[in-house]
Chains A and B, each alone.
Chain A
Amino acid sequence: MLAVLGVCVGVAAVVAVTAARQTVEQSFQRGLQALQGSATHSLVSTGDEISMAQYAELRRTFPVWPMAPVIRERARLLHSSGQDSSVVNRVTVLGLDVISEMTFTTERESDGGLLADADGIDMSAWLDGQPLALIAPAFNQITAGQKLRIVWRGQERTLSVSGRLNPASSLGDDVIVVDLALASAWFDRGGIDSVRMQLTDDQANLLMAKLPAGLQLQGADDQSGLGAAFSLNLVAMGLLALLMGVLMVFSTFRLLLLQREPLMRLQHALGSSPLSQAGDALTEAILVGLLGTALGLLAGLGLAELVISWIRQTLSDLWVTGFNGNVSLTGSMLFQGLLAGLGGSLLAVTPLLWRVYKTGYRITDTAAGKRYGPVALAILLLLSASGLLFGSDRLVLALAGLFAATMGYLLLSVPLLGILSKWVRYGIGWRRLLSVLAARRLQASLGHTGPALVALILAVASIIGIGSMVNSFRGSVTDWLDVSLSASAYIGADGQALPETLRNQVADWPQVGAVSWLNTVDIQLSGEHAQLSIIELPPAGQNSYRMLDGQSLWQIHDQPGTAVMVGETLAARRKIKTGQLVDFVIDERDIRVTAQVSGIFQDYRAGPGRMVILRGAMTEPPAVPTALGVYLHGENQFEQLRRQLDELSWLPVEVEAISSARVKAETLRIFDQTFLLTRSLRWIVALVALVGITGALLALQLERQAELQLLQRLGLSGREQRRLLLYEAILLGGLAVLLAFPLGAMLTWLLCEVINQRAFGWHITARFLPQHYLLAALVGMLATVTAGWLCLRGPGSGEQPRHSAWRLSI
């Protein structure tokens, strides 16, 4: 029974982490697909827009490919709400072609597209040019049939609400959809902003080969940097859970065989052949492994469901589209469950049976501390890990290195536990008999409890490692935001050019101390897409780039030649170093620039990566900005700034202001929600560790029945027996926690400084925060003390021990 429970717990740990990860990721992908309306790619112009002629040529060249044109503009929405007759919202108006959207397909149905299942499209009326709109579900105060007033560049238009976008395919909280022709006429557009496309990889490659100059194909399904980081770190956590699961199953079978050792000797004496016994043991291992795996799969799915239900609402809030993930068994979960359950069982049984056969039915090897094989293997693994982690920049090798380093450390931890328990015994001295006895028993039992203890060490270390990694990541992002968002507020027009006169006007407002100037353009850097930020910063903003290497542009402004700073993600991806010369072409104007890299700056932005150049360093700088940074005298003057901007009716674009505080708060909110699952899954690890170590201690306790009987005969009272067990549990937990600390720190460092850096190019400073160590210590001690307490209440705790043959039946 305990064996089945042990396998079940190990498998449950693996399956729970994988199931929760896959469920959330699948829902994330569905949300992404809904957001993009089944599109896989987006075609954009490197200039202002895609002309009708370009779109027509594309449409004729690739007739049957699903593609849909999009016009996008920001505007102000005026509508009545209760007593307030002039509520103003900033909205994104999307002009879509309802016909083209229908040609997109999803896995489930033929009509995908952004308008799938939208409520209230009368296509005849839409195509007939009537001013109708679909609104995002978030506009819950607006009803169908209501008139909306849209203000764009000072011109006011009236729309009638014909329906609502489906919540499941929401494009965002601030979106209003109108027909493409209406958007084209209202926004005075000859062309379109983008073409959404649903392409296979082959089609995308074909299109890339034929793409005319000025057009650029982008993958629409690229995850945001944060989303990808979330996935990667959960993969790492899944690997650790798999290792923990295998260890638990291994521990379970080792204990089972130890209990069988006398019976096997007896059977051998009675004439049973080693082959027959091995066959019986293997059959049992397979049966127990399968039963435990089946139960573990169910338990794992249940645990995953539990965690998902805790965070369901938060995930819904995060992905807007509504989180509708349900936990279900997949092939990979089944494989991992079988690998941990059945594979772990066979892995444990096979070498032990061989040992039984070779050593005359003696499994126990109390001289664990003198065995050099595991130590040698551990050193070998650690050396391999170093090679894998630092000998290449490939992510998969880094993950393998993480796995190998963890395995190596865990192998070392058993002899280390033996040494530590010996020191403890010497430290206690002979005066405290029970404590010494507990330490001796612990040392002597390491051959039996080793794998379970190792699993506990791994669980405690994972709690430290994962928790510290998330906090380190968050801390680094917070620091970066604090430094980067040096202005009080930012003014932009959805990437469109702002009039230069706006900068002058804003700078003249009394509450404004200074104004920075920014224009971001697309560039081609050795044939790959990147971005160039052309900036002009006041002295107050010149510390807004944290240099990881080299010098900032202001530090070298008096040096001759053109210089750029490179963001760390771009630098990591393109292996750009300080001092190197880079050649790039500014797409829009086909200007070729050669510049020297002055330094690498910290940059957590998602996207293609960017470089920064001073506006004054360019021979042909752009004439107008795309964004302005405003340095206010007081933070409470932001609302006044926004009101003043709203009153600028002469502006040819719809400008918006956003405060730095809001940018920071929103970024961190998304960060916290994204990593909520990661944090929550740590508790699954803790729970599994608790159950696993309890099972191991309980089995050990049963194994020690004869020893306890002897101690009882020697005068050890029941109370003293219980104290002995408790001391043993505390000692076990304490040593396990002690050994988990370095492993936790190692995991934190590897995840922050190697895995994430290798995957995304982000420089995350590992932070070793004491609260994670304290929490992990509490969990580790709680697990062992609870296990000890359960043992006290278990069948071996009575004053009258049962017959020793009882244990043979386990």
Chain B
Amino acid sequence: MIARAAAVLLVVLMVSACGSSTDNSSQSGIELLALPAEQGFQRADRPRRFSFPRDHGVHKGFRTEWWYLTGHLSAGQRQFGYQVTFFRYVIDPAEDTTGGWSADAVWLAQVALSDIENAAFLTSEQLSREVEGISGASTAGLDVSVQGWRLYQTVKRAEEAGEYSLQIDADDFSLTLNLRPDKPLVLQGEEGWSRKSADDPDNASYYYSQTRLAANGTVQLDGEQLQVSGSSWFDREWSTSALHARQAGWDWFAVQLDNQHELMFYQLRLQDGGIDRASTGVWVSPEGEVKRLAFADVQLEATRYWQSPHSGTRYPVSWRMDVPDLGLQLRLQAVMPNQLWRGRLSYWEGAMIVSGTLSSTPVTGRAYVELTGY
């Protein structure tokens, strides 16, 4: 979900401040995400009816839109975490009719691979204007590409995502995955309308998730091609104004338990140290049944921090998460502390291992966590 908001910040900053030197890591960027909607853009201001595979495609009337995959892969004893984001930022909401190099949107794609065995965090990104044949997305279904990086639907099924294929050829590694959904789509918030601020109903997005996909493919790293398999998580979101200026950052959790339960929860931290009441999540059963989690349902506590040697910023890399109503008590611990994206923006996003109890029964699992605004 908001994971991609880091990408939002990046592009917003880029578009608004090209040519100037900024130390963006010191900015929260929330105020930029909370830009007032401009004339001509559609708003995520009410629930809508979703239609698939159409809604996997691009929604050109909105200012921002992203496609986001995270996952945990293994090749024998070797473990990897990964995250891939395709982000679209629209400059002019009017339909472009001129074609050619003329572009109304900018694309940003980011990929990160956590090589746990070697404690290496590899990242790569691409920036591109939206030009046919180079970067863009289909309006009919899932087919997103940014300068050769591509996420597309290989098998289409009505109402569902079908199967996906991911192709990434990054600076230091490449990643090729086939992704098969194991569960139905989950519409977040109110039937897919996800409010991001308790104070301002205009700050919302359309948001759905595919909480568990079986992943198979290859990771090519250091000249070695590894056959990998594992599980992934797919998020989709689009909006025109998503966050409130009072918000300082967010902590987002996507937990996949080995007993086939999933949990998504994000807490929006306010400038005054409090938590926005719009913070919310879902609990998904093995059968795909969804239970909404409200702000008050989840208790989160950071239990250990890691300090960036570059900026000195401390990031919470171990968490305690309790959901009393579910009888769920979890401990989340980063597979390696340094999973910090460093660039114009700094944010921590990485794989964690999960252990705990569900109704007093021991559970284990994995999670992806995004921490911004620190």
B133 nearest CB neighbor, chain A only = A56
Contacts of A52 in B (CB 8 A): 100-101, 131, 133
Task: Specify which of B98, B106, B171 is in contact with A129 (CB 8 Å cutoff).
Answer: B98
Scan B77-108; emit 1 where CB is below 8 A from any A CB, else 0: 00000000000000110000010111110100
Q: In whole angstroms, how far apart are the Cα atoms of A180 and B134 in the complex?
A: 15
B145 nearest CB neighbor, chain A only = A60
Q: In whole angstroms, how far apart are the Cα atoms of A583 and B76 in the complex?
A: 57
Given A64-B171, A102-B18: A185 touches B100 (CB 8 Å cut-off)? yes
Task: Specify which of B16, B100, B102, B148 is in contact with A59 (CB 8 Å cutoff).
Answer: B148
Q: Are A128 and B100 in contact (CB under 8 A)?
A: no
The smallest beta-carbon distance between A189 and chain B, in angstroms, is 9
The smallest beta-carbon distance between A212 and chain B, in angstroms, is 15
Contacts of A64 in B (CB 8 A): 124, 126, 147, 169-171
Number of interface residues of A (CB under 8 A): 37
Q: Are A123 and B148 in contact (CB under 8 A)?
A: no
B180 within 8 A of A: no
Contacts of A110 in B (CB 8 A): 343-344
A612 within 8 A of B: no
B14 within 8 A of A: yes
Scan B129-151; emit 1 where CB is below 8 A from any A CB, else 0: 10111100000000001111100
Which residues of chain A from 333 to 375 have a CB within 8 Å of any chain B CB?
none
Task: Specify which of A59, A127, A185 is in contact with B134 (CB 8 Å cutoff).
Answer: A59
Which of B92, B100, B106 is most buried by chain A, counting CB atoms within 10 A of its CB?
B100
Q: In whole angstroms, how far apart are the Cα atoms of A61 and B133 in the complex?
A: 12
B108 nearest CB neighbor, chain A only = A99
B128 within 8 A of A: yes
B312 within 8 A of A: no
Contacts of A69 in B (CB 8 A): 101
Contacts of B15 in A (CB 8 A): 123-124, 127
Q: In whole angstroms, how far apart are the Cα atoms of A35 and B58 in the complex?
A: 39
Contacts of A99 in B (CB 8 A): 106, 127-129
Contacts of B104 in A (CB 8 A): 127-128
Which of B16, B124, B148, B169 is most buried by chain A, counting CB atoms within 10 A of its CB?
B148
Task: Specify which of A63, A116, A118, A181 is in contact with B126 (CB 8 Å cutoff).
Answer: A63
Q: Are A120 and B19 in contact (CB under 8 A)?
A: yes
B38 nearest CB neighbor, chain A only = A124
A115 within 8 A of B: yes
Contacts of B147 in A (CB 8 A): 59-60, 63-64
Q: In whole angstroms, how far apart are the Cα atoms of A128 and B102 in the complex?
A: 8
A305 within 8 A of B: no
Scan A69-110; emit 1 where CB is below 8 A from any B CB, else 0: 100000000000000000000000000011110110000011
B124 nearest CB neighbor, chain A only = A64
A62 nearest CB neighbor, chain B only = B148
Task: Specify which of A61, A62, A185 is in contact with B98 (CB 8 Å cutoff).
Answer: A185
Q: Are A181 and B101 in contact (CB under 8 A)?
A: yes
A270 within 8 A of B: no
Task: Specify which of A109, A115, A184 is in contact with B101 (CB 8 Å cutoff).
Answer: A184
Q: Are B91 and A61 in contact (CB under 8 A)?
A: no
A166 nearest CB neighbor, chain B only = B19
Contacts of A118 in B (CB 8 A): 19
Given A56-B134, A63-B149: A97 touches B19 (CB 8 Å cut-off)? no
Q: Are B148 and A181 in contact (CB under 8 A)?
A: no
Scan B246-258; emit 1 where CB is below 8 A from any A CB, else 0: 0000000000000
Contacts of A1 in B (CB 8 A): none
Q: Are A180 and B92 in contact (CB under 8 A)?
A: no
Q: Are A127 and B106 in contact (CB under 8 A)?
A: yes
Q: In whole angstroms, how far apart are the Cα atoms of A767 and B14 in the complex?
A: 59
Q: Are A181 and B18 in contact (CB under 8 A)?
A: no
Q: Are A56 and B131 in contact (CB under 8 A)?
A: yes
Q: Are A181 and B149 in contact (CB under 8 A)?
A: no
Q: In whole angstroms, how far apart are the Cα atoms of A395 and B128 in the complex?
A: 45
Q: Are B148 and A117 in contact (CB under 8 A)?
A: no
Q: Are B19 and A115 in contact (CB under 8 A)?
A: yes
Contacts of B131 in A (CB 8 A): 52, 56
Contacts of A59 in B (CB 8 A): 128, 134, 147-148
Q: In whole angstroms, how far apart are the Cα atoms of A185 and B98 in the complex?
A: 9
Q: Are A61 and B148 in contact (CB under 8 A)?
A: yes
Q: In whole angstroms, how far apart are the Cα atoms of A147 and B169 in the complex?
A: 44
Contacts of B103 in A (CB 8 A): 127, 181
Q: In whole angstroms, how far apart are the Cα atoms of A181 and B106 in the complex?
A: 14
Q: In whole angstroms, how far apart are the Cα atoms of A74 and B171 in the complex?
A: 37
Q: Are B129 and A127 in contact (CB under 8 A)?
A: yes
Which residues of chain B from 299 to 351 have a CB within 8 Å of any chain A CB?
343-344
Contacts of B92 in A (CB 8 A): 127-129
A145 within 8 A of B: no
A121 within 8 A of B: yes
Scan A181-199; emit 1 where CB is below 8 A from any B CB, else 0: 1001100001000000000
The smallest beta-carbon distance between A25 and chain B, in angstroms, is 28
Q: In whole angstroms, how far apart are the Cα atoms of A62 and B19 in the complex?
A: 26
Given A64-B126, A103-B127: A129 touches B102 (CB 8 Å cut-off)? yes
A119 within 8 A of B: yes
Q: In whole angstroms, how far apart are the Cα atoms of A56 and B129 in the complex?
A: 12
Q: Are A190 and B343 in contact (CB under 8 A)?
A: no
A53 within 8 A of B: yes
The smallest beta-carbon distance between A169 and chain B, in angstroms, is 11
Q: In whole angstroms, how far apart are the Cα atoms of A85 and B149 in the complex?
A: 51
Q: In whole angstroms, how far apart are the Cα atoms of A97 and B135 in the complex?
A: 14
Contacts of A124 in B (CB 8 A): 15-16, 91
Q: In whole angstroms, how far apart are the Cα atoms of A122 and B169 in the complex?
A: 31
Q: In whole angstroms, how far apart are the Cα atoms of A136 and B80 in the complex?
A: 49
Task: Specify which of B100, B127, B133, B171 is in contact with A181 (CB 8 Å cutoff).
Answer: B100
Q: Are A97 and B101 in contact (CB under 8 A)?
A: yes
Q: In whole angstroms, how far apart are the Cα atoms of A56 and B130 in the complex?
A: 12
B100 nearest CB neighbor, chain A only = A184
Which of A55, A64, A100, A109 is most buried by chain B, counting CB atoms within 10 A of its CB?
A64
Q: In whole angstroms, how far apart are the Cα atoms of A56 and B98 in the complex?
A: 18
Which of A61, A99, A103, A110 is most buried by chain B, counting CB atoms within 10 A of its CB?
A99
Q: Are A185 and B18 in contact (CB under 8 A)?
A: no
Q: Are A98 and B170 in contact (CB under 8 A)?
A: no
Q: Are A190 and B148 in contact (CB under 8 A)?
A: no
Task: Specify which of A53, A100, A115, A117 is in contact with B133 (CB 8 Å cutoff).
Answer: A53
Q: Are B91 and A102 in contact (CB under 8 A)?
A: no
Contacts of A181 in B (CB 8 A): 98, 100-103
The smallest beta-carbon distance between A125 and chain B, in angstroms, is 9
Contacts of B19 in A (CB 8 A): 115-121
Contacts of B128 in A (CB 8 A): 59, 99-100
Q: In whole angstroms, how far apart are the Cα atoms of A176 and B156 in the complex?
A: 49
Contacts of A123 in B (CB 8 A): 14-16, 18
Q: Are A60 and B148 in contact (CB under 8 A)?
A: yes
B96 nearest CB neighbor, chain A only = A129
Q: In whole angstroms, how far apart are the Cα atoms of A115 and B14 in the complex?
A: 14
Which of A110, A121, A128, A181 is most buried by chain B, counting CB atoms within 10 A of its CB?
A181
Q: In whole angstroms, how far apart are the Cα atoms of A102 and B18 in the complex?
A: 9
Contacts of A62 in B (CB 8 A): 148
Q: In whole angstroms, how far apart are the Cα atoms of A110 and B14 in the complex?
A: 13
Given A115-B19, A128-B92: A60 touches B100 (CB 8 Å cut-off)? no
Q: Are B169 and A97 in contact (CB under 8 A)?
A: no
Q: In whole angstroms, how far apart are the Cα atoms of A118 and B14 in the complex?
A: 14
Which of A59, A61, A128 is most buried by chain B, counting CB atoms within 10 A of its CB?
A59
Scan B9-22; emit 1 where CB is below 8 A from any A CB, else 0: 00000111011010
Q: In whole angstroms, how far apart are the Cα atoms of A117 and B21 in the complex?
A: 8
Q: In whole angstroms, how far apart are the Cα atoms of A757 and B316 in the complex?
A: 66
Contacts of B344 in A (CB 8 A): 110
A-B contact pairs, 5 of them (CB 8 A): A56-B133, A59-B148, A123-B18, A128-B104, A129-B102
Instruction: A102-B18, A123-B16, A128-B104 are known; give 10 further A-B pairs, CB within 8 A.
Output: A59-B128, A60-B148, A64-B171, A100-B127, A102-B127, A109-B21, A116-B19, A121-B18, A123-B14, A185-B100
The 10 closest A-B pairs by CB, nearest first: A63-B148, A56-B133, A60-B148, A181-B101, A181-B102, A123-B18, A184-B101, A180-B101, A121-B19, A56-B134
